[in-house]
Amino acid sequence: MSCKATLECDSLQNPSRFDNIHVVIELEVDDPALLERQATLERAADHCPVGNTLRSLPQVSVELRMTAPQVVQPA
């Protein structure tokens, strides 16, 4: 059994980001009978929370919190 995924996308500017993301998954299975389950697997993938989130343009916020160790000054 082997699995290969290929990702293609467009790179956009202002702001720098990716768009039109296309993923192709090639799955080689040991049991030919599993080929009959492709439709079932595709239906399951359509309900994947990660895929659904990426398809619906979620609102994303990024917060940066920085700290540094305090330097002790000699008395």
Q: pLDDT tens track of the chain, all 75 residues?
A: 899 999 999 999 999 999 998 999 999 999 999 999 999 989 998 998 988 888 888 888 989 999 999 988 887
- Catalogue the E-assigned strands of 1-75: 2-12, 17-28
State the pLDDT at residue 60.
85
Measure the CA–CA gap between 38 and 27, rounded to whole angstroms. Answer: 10
- Rounded Cα distance between 45 and 50, Å, is 9
Instruction: Evaluate if pTM is beyond 0.95.
Output: no
